[in-house]
């Protein structure tokens, strides 16, 4: 699914929540038999049958020659928790359809019609609405969560009807202190820095920030060899804080010479602050 900016989202009519989970393609053959696969692909049909309420029975209600895309997620949890829950506690998982690739052999274009057909089987449909109202909700902070999203959602999918659509994910940033490096092992960047080991001023290891351009790798490598990299403050963008207290997909943005170490605290982000306060209280 192609990623876009919020400015590009203005070209689309609808906005749909992007659940933070595992995409499942459910294919019903001409005899009414269904198979569920991940995008890997991997067959997860037996595990889907174990879900409660029984999505298996609901998939059996889909007409032959139908393909439906669903998101498997755990309410109130991140995607990193889904695989564990699927193995250890499948009843905590939920499925919501978000795209009908084919219905009884036909392609459908109207998203409201697809939602009606899906709900007639007992399955749920991922919440959606007009793009204009959703964008306004995001801008005014009407959605709960530190980034204007429910905790089990990672962004928005914008579409003009029943289609896969394009996605947008928020990218918060945080200022951190470089305390170490990970050297690149691949032939392309051999001898250069691969990522920056970044901590808060309190000493919490939040990220190994990658996403370095060639010029950045060379500059940081020179600093490291001269002994001048330890203590440099950098800005890092990421998706969210995972359950282990690390930033998901951390990427270097820029050096922040204007920032002091005292400003690189856990208080910069509500999720980071809450996570480490709970650890200290425990």
pLDDT band at 108, cuts 50/70/90? very high
* pLDDT over threshold 90, residue 48: no
Q: Strand pairing partners for 157?
A: 16, 167
Which residue in 101, 135, 92, 84 sits closest to 24, CA to CA? Answer: 101
Q: Which domains does the chain have, with CATH numbers?
A: 8-168 (3.30.470.30), 173-281 (2.40.50.140)
Amino acid 144: pLDDT: 38
Give per-residue pLDDT as tens, 146-181.
455 777 888 889 999 999 999 888 778 899 999 999
Q: Where are the alpha helices (DSSP H) in the chain?
A: 45-49, 55-60, 82-88, 111-120, 131-140, 214-225, 270-281
Amino acid 3: pLDDT: 79
Half-sphere exposure at residue 143, Cβ-oriented, CA atoms within 13 angstroms: 21
Which residue in 69, 59, 102 sits closest to 1, CA to CA? Answer: 69
Q: How far apart are CA 59 and CA 142, in angstroms?
A: 34
Give per-residue pLDDT as tens, 179-232.
999 999 888 888 999 999 999 999 999 999 999 999 999 999 999 999 999 999
Q: How far apart are CA 26 and CA 70, in angstroms?
A: 8
Q: How far apart are CA 114 and CA 46, in angstroms?
A: 26
| Of residues 43 and 134, more confidently modeled | 43
């Amino acid at each position: 699914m192609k990623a876009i900016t919020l400015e590009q989202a203005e070209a689309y009519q609808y906005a749909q929540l992007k659940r933070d989970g595992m995409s499942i393609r459910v294919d019903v053959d001409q005899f009414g038999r269904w198979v569920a696969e991940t995008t890997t692909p991997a067959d997860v049909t037996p595990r889907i049958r174990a879900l409660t309420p029984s999505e298996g029975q609901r998939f059996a209600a889909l007409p032959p020659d139908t393909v439906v895309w669903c998101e498997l997620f755990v309410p109130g949890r991140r995607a990193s928790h889904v695989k564990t829950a699927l193995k250890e506690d499948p009843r905590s998982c939920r499925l919501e359809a978000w795209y009908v690739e084919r219905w009884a052999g036909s392609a459908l274009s109207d998203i409201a019609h697809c939602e009606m057909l899906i709900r007639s089987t007992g399955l749920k449909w991922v919440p959606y609405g007009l793009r204009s109202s959703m964008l306004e909700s995001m801008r005014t902070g009407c959605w709960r969560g530190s980034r204007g999203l429910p905790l089990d959602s990672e962004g928005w999918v914008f579409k003009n009807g029943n289609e896969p659509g394009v996605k947008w994910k928020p990218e918060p940033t945080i200022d951190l202190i470089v305390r170490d490096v990970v050297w690149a092992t691949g032939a392309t960047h051999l001898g250069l820095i691969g990522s920056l080991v970044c901590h808060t001023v309190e000493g919490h290891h939040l990220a190994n920030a990658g996403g370095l351009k060639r010029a950045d790798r060379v500059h940081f490598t020179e600093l490291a060899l001269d002994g001048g990299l330890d203590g440099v403050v950098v800005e890092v963008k990421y998706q969210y804080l995972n359950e282990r207290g690390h930033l998901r997909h951390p990427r270097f943005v820029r050096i922040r010479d204007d920032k002091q170490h005292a400003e690189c605290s856990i208080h910069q982000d509500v999720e980071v602050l809450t996570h480490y306060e709970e650890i200290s209280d425990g």
